[in-house]
Amino acid sequence: MGAIYQTNFQFPKQTKFYRGKVRDVYTIDNKFLVMVASDRISAFDVILPKPIPCKGQVLNQVATHFLNLTKDIVPNWLLANPDANVAIGKMCEPFKVEMVIRGYVTGHAAREYKSGKRMICGVPMPEGLKENDKFPEPILTPTTKADEGHDLDISREEIISSGLVNESEYVQLENYTRALFKFGSEEAKRRGLILVDTKYEFGKADGKIYLIDEIHTPDSSRYFYSEGYEEKQSKGEPQKQLSKEFVREWLIANNFMGKEGQQIPDMPEEFVQTVTNRYIELFEKITGKKFQPDTSSNPDDRIKKNISDWIEQNA
């Protein structure tokens, strides 16, 4: 299987190209976005040098699964999936914030809590919690959406007062975020998982708000296994999880947190395979479907042909 680190296509009617942390995004005729999910992996807002085979396919197919399941909750951008690694959808103007919602004291929230902070993004966190405890109610902790570098925590009040999003639209984003998280949590529970935290991105087209990008994937979300959660918490043991957090933990153990002057550690092939296996495990666990890896020896040619065929028929 060939891993896809990046693509460099040129399509008919292509008007723009953007390379994100994980996706290569082609704009067609200023109307459609073609997102190619690569096998790049990022952590601490840094793209790591080695690709993870099958990761892009997992991300694309988990996102598609949930976009299709939630389109009655919030309209979304997706129009077609002509390839295992590709999503094509409506071009929207993105809001410059990411809507992060947390059900548990994990990741960034846990690190802030451990440092003594009891406020995150203007939202108070109760006393007496320990890492991986459940919050009494899920909390919204939005971040700025940085074109480069680190996303930054921001409060509801700062978002509205700075004009990043007007108040009525922000209320709508909050409502959509809570509804999507509720659905995702219930779906995870059915599959023996806990949706711990996640983020959503939204955009506008023709005066209407759409859910854009990915949803409930292992890159945008953190999952625990339900079985054993209470026992591990009572013993103060780490939770068994399906997410990208174990990659961050490996990097931290190898003295890398994305800070200036730190060297990205070389990821051994055995660990790369472990990451691939974890992504596939999450796909099968959360969707209830068997993962079918694409075994093309030249995925670039396959992807380019499938996108070109779609453009010819639709654009």
> pTM value?
0.90
Same domain, 206 and 185: yes
Domain boundary among 219, 242, 265: 242
Residues 74 and 198 in one domain: no
Summarised one tens digit per residue, pLDDT across range 256-303 is 999 999 999 999 999 999 999 989 988 999 999 999 998 888 899 999
Token digits for 177? 């975020």
Domain end marker among 242, 267, 296:
242
Q: With the C-alpha atoms ordered 239, 240, 245, 247, is the resulting torsion angle positive or negative?
A: positive
As a whole-number percent, the residues of the chain with pLDDT over 70 amount to: 98
- Residue 263: Cβ-neighbour burial (10 angstroms; 0-12, 13-18, 19+): exposed
Of the pLDDT bands very low, low, confident and very high (cuts 50, 70, 90), residue 218 is confident
CA distance linking residue 196 with residue 286, whole number of Å: 13
State which residues form the domain around 164.
Answer: 94-242
Quote the radius of gyration of the chain (alpha carbons, Å): 19
Q: What is the Cα–Cα distance from 295 to 311, expressed in whole angstroms? A: 24
Residues 6+ apart with CB under 8 A from 160: 166, 167, 170
Last residue of a domain, one of 242, 269, 285: 242
Average pLDDT for the chain: 94
Please indicate, yes or no, whether residues 116 and 224 belong to a single structural domain of this protein.
Answer: yes
In terms of domains, do 32 and 132 share one? no
